[in-house]
Amino acid sequence: MNHNTPLSHSPRPLRHLSHVQRRVLTTAQLRANGVTAAETNEQCRPGGPWQQFLPGVYLLHPGPPTSEERLHAVLMFAARSPAQPVPAIPVQPGAEDPHAAQPYTDVLITGLAALTLHGFTSAPPLLSLDKIDVMVPRLRRLRSTGCVRIVRTPSLPAPSYVTGVPVAPVPRALADAVAELSDANAVRRLLTEAVRAGHCEPAAVVRELTQARLLSRPHVVDAVDSLLAEGRSIAEDRLYRMVGEHGLPDPVWNVDLRLPGGPHLGGLDAYWPEQAVAVELDTRAPRQDEDALWSEYARKREHLERLGITVVYITPKKLRDSMEQQATVVRTALMASNDRDPAAYVVVLPR
């Protein structure tokens, strides 16, 4: 007997379900396709052609699930409104777009599974994960079970879709992954790849880690320090590229300014002495001391501008996403120097 053979007590065969493209269905979907609870139980008997994978979610084959089937089974289990019932008419190959977003409501894949879907090479393969983290609204009455680990949140972020799977944004997925990791090297590899591979900026990661209250863990703090150093190095490289690729005059790099015989005015990433124009990378991380750090930035900028020095602040994200626009801002500041009063004389020292 195989899964296309009619059950002796069934009023009709179940072969109309043997052609569905994704062979994972919920109890509601089976019922919508005319499959009774008794028929489902018979198909899922020991040695039978189906299996119950999660409460209310069934695999229409006896073998282990594929990674795609696991993901959709988890989403079907956790979704407020499961995917629509499959049609009784067989789906022909190519008739369904495998990359189309599925209508899952109030649910996102997060954690390591989400990072794997985002393309992280330092995240494990999906089939090797014992648990798949799925994010749901805080008040949902769901419990972790089987391969599902429920992650509750006051509000779900806007999802990305990877091959039809709703996935948490990288910074949030990182925070949820780090919350379950005690291996300092694994945490460092994930955070470093996030920045080095251009998935997101350090500030966004630190913001999520702060909100998740993970910065009290020493191995996370150490990884964040490495992340910020990595992010600053990448931003500096992009600043060098901006100057070279967009035809800006060469500045002096990484300098300190002082008044002659007077106080230290602050460090700058790039400075054009003849035009009295400075660029500073805004690499602040949103930690508890953000307000104090921003006040320091503002005081330095105000002091320099009182001396006639124009300060252009550029974030790493702007350098990454709109380098040409940032080059135009700097070029405009350099050209406008001819229309300003001469700046005060300052001493330029290497930093």
Q: Is residue 184 scored above 60 in pLDDT?
A: yes
Q: Is residue 8 scored above 80 in pLDDT?
A: no
Pick 2 or 61 by higher pLDDT.
61
- pLDDT grade, residue 83 (50/70/90)? very low
Identify the pLDDT of residue 20.
52
Q: Is residue 5 scored above 70 in pLDDT?
A: no
Q: Which residues pair with 161 in a beta bridge?
A: 166
Q: Which residues contact 231 (CB under 8 A, 6 or more apart)?
A: 195, 201, 202, 203, 283, 316
Q: Is the dihedral of CA 133, 134, 139, 144 positive or negative?
A: negative
Q: Please, what is the average pLDDT of the chain?
A: 85
Rounded to an integer, the average pLDDT of 131-137 is 97
User: What distances in angstroms separate CA 84 from CA 27, 56, 81, 234, one per listed residue?
Assistant: 12, 15, 8, 45
pTM for this predicted structure: 0.77
For residue range 159-180, what is the model confidence (pLDDT) as tens digits? 999 988 999 999 999 999 999 9
Opening angle at CA 186, ends 150 and 179, nearest 5: 30
- pLDDT grade, residue 125 (50/70/90)? very high
For residue range 194-227, what is the model confidence (pLDDT) as tens digits? 998 989 989 899 999 999 999 989 999 999 988 8
At position 208, the amino acid (one-letter code) is E
Q: HSE on the CB side for 124, CA within 13 Å? A: 14
Identify the pLDDT of residue 230.
86
Spatial separation of the C-alpha atoms in residues 332 and 314, rounded to whole Å: 14
Domains observed in the chain: 1-104 (no CATH), 108-233 (no CATH), 247-350 (3.40.960)
Name the strands in the sheet holding 24-26, side by side, starting at the edge strand that comes first in the sequence.
Answer: 24-26, 57-59, 51-54
